[in-house]
Structure 1
Amino acid sequence: MDNPWAKEMATIENVPLEEHRFPCPACGADLRFAPGTDNLACDHCGHAEPIQAPRGALRELDLRSAEKGGISEEDLEETRTARCGSCGAEVEFAAGVHAETCPFCASPLVTDTGANRHIKPQGQLPFLIAEEEARQALRKWLGRLWFAPSDLKKYASAERALDGIYVPYWTYDAETRSRYTGQRGTVHHKTKRVPVMVKGKRRMQNVTTSEVRWRPASGRVARDFDDVLVPGTTSLPKRFVDAIAPWDLSALLRYDPRYLAGFRAEAYGRSVQEGYEDARAIMNSVITQDVRRDIGGDRQKITRLETDVGRLTFKHVLLPVWMAAYRYRGKSYRFVVNARTGAVEGERPWSPGKIAIAVVLGLIVALAIAWLQISQN
């Protein structure tokens, strides 16, 4: 069977690409988006160019139509990307660049890049936190790593540039209607007197027992889901994705390449169909909780649950992170900072020396406590 997603994931060679460049009207240098503002700014002369933020609701695409290849040309774009062989990140390259370091794992990228045809983003959250603020959040997080090697902390805390990257996500909206059958359990408590032995004497004591009485239950529940968020990347571990959440999706703006000026973007590595499988699992979990509440009682059993999905749409959105990736003693380590909230997650090695010292100190304290107890007796 043909893959219905082949069109969106096709790699096309020798295709003219649209390059987004925003020259400074004062000096001609490249403008870049200034986090926390609505301006493009010139690092060379200081000129600021206001961005008229695009207003209006973000456009939703029909998932079932997309599955049949019904994605219009206006919803597709071509970008120049290279795939990292170490972490799988699909990194966008600027024109004329053929060698870089992967921002996700610090592995070298030297490749003959081509054009990647994929679904255009419908929206983005602009960078809110500037690089220095992100570095301060990273330093604070590193300060809590007691058993990390000291030279690692010094290296990672140094005034090294962080990479500002837009990470791809999918959001899904769905109208669901569910039917269920099950059982409602009500707990009943009984108290009775039973003989017990207390200090060699027989006495009567109250003992409470409980039993669950089950009754058939059935019904219907409805739930409309809005912006169920699923990562479109495979380059960040799930614990990273979970740790830097949540995202203020109510602040999403319609896609405008000016907000990407001076930053990089990762192309999605998971198709919208793969993302929907994860989104559906999230929806099913919520629907199950709705059913349990609808059944009521003290306990619930669900024997059958059928869900019909009506309107089903999706969006491709870009969310901003600051990232530091480097190699330490032959291994890659990453730190990620949510560029909206400052939440940090990262990887860390352990210092055998510090752990050994802590173990020795712990033994000394334990021996001291034992000696005090013996001397007091």
Structure 2
Amino acid sequence: MNQSQYPCSNCGANVEYAPGTTVLQCPYCGAKTPLQPTGVQVREHSYAEFAGLPRKPIATLAPHVFKCRGCGAVTESDKLSDRCQFCDAPLIADAAEGDMVTPEAVLPFDLDRARMREALRTWASSRWFAPNSLKKVTEAETARSTYLPHWTYDAETTSAYRGERGDHYWETETYTENGETKTRQVQRTAWHPVRGVVDRSFDDVLVAGTTRVAPEHLDTLEPWPLPEASAYRPEYLAGHETLRYDVEPEQGLTRAQETMQSVIRDDCRRDIGGDEQRVHSVDTDYRAVMFKLMLLPVWVAVYLHGGKTYNVLVNGRTGEVAGERPYSALKIALAISLAVVVIAVIVVLWALHNGGHQ
């Protein structure tokens, strides 16, 4: 298979993309190789045209077979970029080879390891009731800089809806209390059937292209500065892992449309107006559906506590942190004990204060 490795012009070792820069840097001698502009722009592709092409499911594709040009070792991996298992040299597959969808855009890493550790340190220090050993996550030298595949979808939509508009009004109600007749104002709602049509354009609706990371953690890492993405070039992957997508574009579109429908229903409610709204049905026509595969940067740190492994993710552009954390039973018990003591002291002081005034 075709693959890419980039030798250092000074010492011959393989260079890596340096986060936050526009250079490839040698991890041994420090020599830098500037990335020259290519003039290539990020493009989106017609989903209708793509759907008509013959293609194999991603699950049926064989892993990439890399042959390291440094030590000659052969490495099999289902990742788009990886490291040689013997000499740790960066390995990058030819993304255009085979039946996979080729990445169109990449959001390069901005946080280097030092800034990633600082983000983890801030996050760990704010976790109440976490064991003290959680601070070790900031020392995670095994944290991996990983590009995660995501799909983005654009669409023009027109939606015809049926529902009801609720308008509030007030009625005077008579009631009896303790044998006395009284009146009060009571809010009522008058419901009227409505129909309408709303239009909405969607741009870059983001859907995770991997199932290896918990969706709730990826959601926490948002928002992503997607307009800052660059056209895909393999140099950005040098020295960083890149997961191959395992969510097919068809699955991604279904999830994107679910996100779109939530927005469209809000549009319908605004169009209905009134004080309350009921949306009974929405029939949406999707036009000019475009999509692309994009790679987003995430630092993945692994933390072991009590025999259980926890994953912590750091957004490689913004420093936002998401992940699992253990709880310290000792800290929780001490907090409960302290709360009980404080309450007891307050009760005693209150009793003494009131007893002194009798």
Shorter-chain TM-score tier? 0.7 to 0.9
The answer on 1:353 being equivalent to 2:330 is: yes
Query: CA–CA distance in 2 between the matches of 1:98 and 1:48?
Result: 24
Q: Residue 333 of structure 2: SS of its match in structure 1? A: helix
1:148 is displaced (CA, Å) by 1.6
Aligned length: 332
Query: CA–CA distance in 2 between the matches of 1:332 and 1:117?
Result: 35
Query: CA–CA distance in 2 between the matches of 1:209 and 1:181?
Result: 29
1:165 is displaced (CA, Å) by 0.5
Query: CA–CA distance in 2 between the matches of 1:275 and 1:329?
Result: 37
1:96 is displaced (CA, Å) by 5.2
The letter for the 1-side match of 2:124 is L
In the alignment, which residue of structure 2 is the partner of 1:52? 36
**Paired residues for 1:123-134 under 5 Å:** 123-134=105-116
1:158 alignment partner, one of 139, 142, 147: 139
Query: CA–CA distance in 2 between the matches of 1:242 and 1:93?
Result: 24
In the alignment, which residue of structure 2 is the partner of 1:86? none
1:45 is displaced (CA, Å) by 2.4
In the alignment, which residue of structure 1 is the partner of 2:9? 25
Q: Residue 118 of structure 1: SS of its match in structure 2? A: coil
Query: CA–CA distance in 1 between the matches of 2:256 and 2:265?
Result: 14
Query: CA–CA distance in 2 between the matches of 1:253 and 1:156?
Result: 31
The answer on 1:34 being equivalent to 2:29 is: no
1:63 alignment partner, one of 25, 47, 50: 47
2:161 alignment partner, one of 166, 177, 180: 180
8 A contact 2:149–2:294 mirrored in 1: yes
8 A contact 1:80–1:116 mirrored in 2: no
8 A contact 2:124–2:134 mirrored in 1: no
1:260 alignment partner, one of 230, 237, 249: 237
The letter for the 2-side match of 1:342 is G
Residues 246, 53 of structure 1: alpha-carbon distance in 2 compared, 3 angstrom cutoff: farther
Q: Residue 259 of structure 1: SS of its match in structure 2? A: helix
The answer on 1:362 being equivalent to 2:339 is: yes
Query: CA–CA distance in 1 between the matches of 2:132 and 2:194?
Result: 61
1:208 alignment partner, one of 149, 169, 185: 185
1:203 is displaced (CA, Å) by 8.0
TM-score (norm 2): 0.84
Query: CA–CA distance in 1 between the matches of 2:247 and 2:194?
Result: 40
TM-score (norm 1): 0.80
**Paired residues for 1:207-286 under 5 Å:** 207-286=184-263
Query: CA–CA distance in 2 between the matches of 1:175 and 1:79?
Result: 37
1:50 is displaced (CA, Å) by 1.6
1:295 is displaced (CA, Å) by 1.3
Name which of structure 1's ranges 326-335 and 127-136 shifts more when overlaid on structure 2: 326-335
The answer on 1:145 being equivalent to 2:122 is: no
8 A contact 2:83–2:239 mirrored in 1: no
Q: Deviations over 1:151-201 (max 9, x none)?
A: 232x2232624211101100011111111222222111245676655xxx9
Q: Deviations over 1:266-314 (max 9, x none)?
A: 1112111111111110001111111111111111222332111111121
In the alignment, which residue of structure 2 is the partner of 1:106? none
The letter for the 1-side match of 2:328 is S
8 A contact 1:195–1:203 mirrored in 2: yes
1:56 is displaced (CA, Å) by 5.1
Percent sequence identity is 36
1:367 is displaced (CA, Å) by 1.4
In the alignment, which residue of structure 2 is the partner of 1:118? 100
Q: Residue 338 of structure 2: SS of its match in structure 1? A: helix
In the alignment, which residue of structure 2 is the partner of 1:332? 309
Q: CA RMSD in A?
A: 2.8
